[in-house]
Amino acid sequence: MKLANLFKAGLLAAAVTTLSGCGTINAIGNLNDGAGETFMAVWDKWVESEGDIADATMWEVKVDDGVTLEEVKDAINSVGIRNNLKNVGELPLSEELIARGVESRVLHVMSFCNPETARKMTDFSPAMAGFLPCRVNIVGEEDGLHLYTMNMDMAIKMGKKMPPELLEATMKVRNTMWEMLQDGKTGAF
């Protein structure tokens, strides 16, 4: 384990040294608190997943055995309602596949948005529109249902420093998405 940490530190030092002439030092100085820890967590997950960037950049929880798809959806929607995060659409992809005669496990996408926060975020960084709306994906795997959503700490901590009011609003959305995973996995609301 110590060798792995030493390797990561060496790699990070080499990267900073190599890229310092490219404005990297300036960019690093403009990051939010916790950027380094978040980067290393994503890096570790990327390595563990053998280079699967999607796996490395997602939060994932397994739904408790016996909890139904409807219970998961109800719990997630309940969290959204409590926290002013509007359900702006659902894609029952597995239902569509089955209707087309294609066998499929559950694949259901739920999309959520707080329009005021979305507007403030895209005013701050127009490219953030590519992350809209926030999604919780319910995926049937061999061992049961799993919930996936983007690791929002990347966008918050690894991005440029936000004004305090935007950071507060974004953290509320981040915390709501995390709560959706926690309540969704148990079907509780």
Judged by average pLDDT, the poorest of 38-42, 126-130, 173-177 is: 38-42
- What's the residue count for the chain? 189
Q: What's the pLDDT tens digit per position in 130-156? A: 989 999 999 999 999 999 999 988 878
For the chain, strand residue ranges (E) read 58-62, 86-92, 107-113, 134-141, 144-150
pTM of the model: 0.80
Q: In the structure, what pLDDT confidence band is assigned to residue 41 with cuts at 50, 70 and 90? A: confident
**What does each C-alpha distance from 39 to 33, 45, 52 come to in angstroms?**
11, 10, 15
pLDDT tops 60 at residue 20? no
Report DSSP state, residue 187: T
Element holding 154 (H helix, E strand): helix 152-157
Q: In the structure, what pLDDT confidence band is assigned to residue 108 with cuts at 50, 70 and 90? A: very high
Q: In the structure, what pLDDT confidence band is assigned to residue 106 with cuts at 50, 70 and 90? A: very high
Angle, vertex CA 92, rays to CA 86 and CA 95, nearest 5: 160
The dotted CATH code for 58-186 is: 3.30.310.70
Mean pLDDT of the region 156-163: 82
Percentage of the residues of the chain whose pLDDT score is greater than 70? 81
Within its chain, how far is the Cα of 136 from the centroid? 9
Mean pLDDT of the region 172-188: 96
